[in-house]
Amino acid sequence: MPSLIPVTVSIWPISVSAGRLESLHTILDSAERSRIEKMRTDSARELIVSHGVARERLGALCGIPPEAVVFRTEARGKPHLEGISAPVAFNLSHSGGYCALATGAVARLGVDIEALRPAIDDLATNVFSERELGLYAAIVPGDRTRAFFRSWVAKEAYLKATGDGLAGGLQSLETEPTADVAIRPIGIGGDAGVLRSWRFEGFDVSEGIVGAVAVDAGGAAIDIRIRRIDPELPARADP
């Protein structure tokens, strides 16, 4: 029986000590530091902690120092690692004071986390297909915000995995809207058969933040692991 391919989603808070923030800043590259100089304090801290911890974990995964990790982006902004021999896909998301990093030796993956926000019914027609809108309308009003964002993060994770971004259309992935953590995909581009290549997993970052990971493993069996890490502790060789 073939072994499962591990896909890990690491979650951590942006809040770190001043000393840790300084040490994370030292492993960023010149482009990241240049961006930080133009940001407000809160935004700069978010970038330092999200990119710094991601560098440490990707470096440990690839067997290289964190400062040697080289990020590159494709035309529509999808990130990838350059100059490594191991086939590692990764994706990063941050919202509501938390970060999530998805990693795995798979064809494509994406992760998205979002803090729940009220008054989203007016966005539903832009996010959901006609089929999804019918299902969404049947949800009790008290569950609609959470159900909306459960579907939203699944759609975002899928579009980040494909590299299409929002240009790919949030309605391209159809899901059954639900307040439950489980993601229930219906089809991609109206075709349920395409789903055979994909795996989706929902998770909670906190009571007010939901997330999802989308993985294209080409039909291979995968093991998705959701775990919380301490951003004060540097990553070890087994992240």
The pTM score is: 0.92
Whether 233 is covered by a domain: the verdict is: no
In which domain, by residue range, is 153 found? Answer: 5-228
Whether 236 is covered by a domain: the verdict is: no
- pLDDT for the residue 73: 80
Give me the average pLDDT of each 10-residue run along the chain (239 residues): 86 97 96 92 94 95 92 76 81 96 94 90 88 94 94 96 81 94 93 90 97 92 96 76
Contact 56, 92 (CB under 8 A): no
* Total of domains in the chain: 1
Whether 234 is covered by a domain: the verdict is: no
Residue ranges of E strands in 116-166: none
Give, as one character, the DSSP assignment of residue 237: S
- pLDDT for the residue 218: 86
- pLDDT for the residue 119: 67
Q: What span, in angstroms and rounded, lies between the C-alpha atoms of 62 and 66?
A: 9
Whether 237 is covered by a domain: the verdict is: no
Whether 89 is covered by a domain: the verdict is: yes
Q: What span, in angstroms and rounded, lies between the C-alpha atoms of 55 and 28?
A: 8
Whether 33 is covered by a domain: the verdict is: yes
Q: What span, in angstroms and rounded, lies between the C-alpha atoms of 149 and 96?
A: 13
Whether 239 is covered by a domain: the verdict is: no
CATH number, domain with residue 190: 3.90.470.20
Whether 75 is covered by a domain: the verdict is: yes
Give, as one character, the DSSP assignment of residue 62: H
Task: Give Cβ neighbours of residue 15 (< 8 Å, ≥ 6 apart).
Answer: 97, 231
Strands 5-13 and 222-228: parallel
Residue 30 CB-density burial (10 A; 0-12 exposed, 13-18 middle, 19+ buried): exposed
Q: What span, in angstroms and rounded, lies between the C-alpha atoms of 93 and 54?
A: 10
